[in-house]
Amino acid sequence: MRALLLYRLDLADDVPVDDAVHVVDATAPLIRATDLGVNRGDGVFETAVVRHGAAQSLEAHLERLGRSARLMELPPPRLELWRAAVLRAAAAVSAPGVLHDGELASIKFVMTRGDEFDGGEPTGWVLGFAGGDPRALRRAGIRVVVLDRGYRHDVMRTAPWLLQGAKSLAYAVNQAALREAVRRAADDVIFVSSDGLVLEGPRSTLIARLGGKLITPPAELGVLPGTTQADIFAGLSDVPSETRAITLRELADADALWLCSSTRGAVPVREVDGLGRPMDHTLTERMNAVLDARRG
């Protein structure tokens, strides 16, 4: 990946939007050592891929940013400010000559609780970066392992302080799970609850095809509502879809599986715990055609 641009945001409510976005050097230090986002992972973020000069599904990402902030009891984000900053960043990274051949741009926007000691305003920034083209991965598929997340399926109700379902900066567990996947000769992970319900990936939403229907687990299980998955369901109106719990047995019986994320799109699963799984290349292409055609 390659950093393209960086904006620092002034999140004080009384600062006009036009005065609250500040361009800074994308390679220069931005965060203080006392920021709670660094010291505690106490913050939220979103990442939107840029195509056709626009950040795709921006309103859904902004809505989810607000949802995560509510779950973490952070100040409500000024969505008009975040929207303006992301739109500005998307236009900048789409300018001629910014991207190298084979690169796609994405926008990551982050809000932390702020400085641990001064108790001031939250910290905010918007980062534009370039990543690789996911088309080869979409064709080849990925190998996944199933890992226990360690919580029951009802953790959002019984232990809301664990913040399942919030897109927080505290990604150490997700990163550890991905390292475990590599140790098991796999590429990615599907989490399950301790009582046997399928959840999500460390950085993706699961779609399973069962009985001709596309199914994804509900947010009530402590999973992040998937913006990419939602766009697939909306765009493939001729394919039946449903949001409901999926059991481990159903995961084994599914005739196709996908992990979906903003930067990669819909990637088919070719292997689960060392066992080969069928891939539907035609439907995968249709899913990604829907995603790639989005304009904001």
Residues in the chain: 296
Are 154 and 287 contained in the same domain?
A: yes
Q: What is the dihedral of CA 218, 265, 227, 114, to 10 degrees?
A: 110
Are 119 and 142 contained in the same domain?
A: no
- What pLDDT is stored for residue 171 in this prediction? 95
Which one of 133, 151, 186 terminates a domain?
133
| 160, 189 contact by CB (below 8 A) | no
| 217, 246 contact by CB (below 8 A) | yes
Are 251 and 157 contained in the same domain?
A: yes
Which whole-number Å values give the CA distances from 75 to 12, 65, 79, 176, in the listed order?
Answer: 11, 11, 12, 29
Are 267 and 129 contained in the same domain?
A: no
What is the side-by-side strand order in the sheet with 43-51? Answer: 21-24, 2-9, 123-132, 103-112, 43-51, 54-55
Are 190 and 52 contained in the same domain?
A: no
Which one of 71, 100, 133 terminates a domain?
133
CATH number of the domain enclosing 18: 3.30.470.10
Task: Count the alpha carbons within 13 Å of 157 in the hemisphere toward its beta carbon.
Answer: 6
**Separation between Cα atoms, residue 125 and residue 127, nearest integer Å:** 7
pLDDT tens digits along 161-181: 999 999 999 999 999 999 999
Eight-state DSSP code of residue 74: P
Are 153 and 235 contained in the same domain?
A: yes
**Separation between Cα atoms, residue 155 and residue 107, nearest integer Å:** 31
Are 123 and 171 contained in the same domain?
A: no
Domain, as residue range, for 63: 2-133
| 29, 123 contact by CB (below 8 A) | no
- What pLDDT is stored for residue 267 in this prediction? 98
CATH number of the domain enclosing 144: 3.20.10.10
- What pLDDT is stored for residue 28 in this prediction? 86
Which one of 68, 98, 133 terminates a domain?
133
Are 99 and 202 contained in the same domain?
A: no
Are 119 and 239 contained in the same domain?
A: no
- What pLDDT is stored for residue 27 in this prediction? 87
Strand partners, 189: 145
Are 121 and 142 contained in the same domain?
A: no
Are 278 and 230 contained in the same domain?
A: yes
Are 17 and 106 contained in the same domain?
A: yes
pTM summary value: 0.96
CA 56 to chain centre: 12
Number of domains in the chain: 2
- The pLDDT averaged over each successive group of 10 residues in the chain (296 residues) is 96 95 93 94 97 96 98 97 98 97 96 92 97 96 98 96 95 97 98 98 98 97 97 98 98 98 97 98 98 90
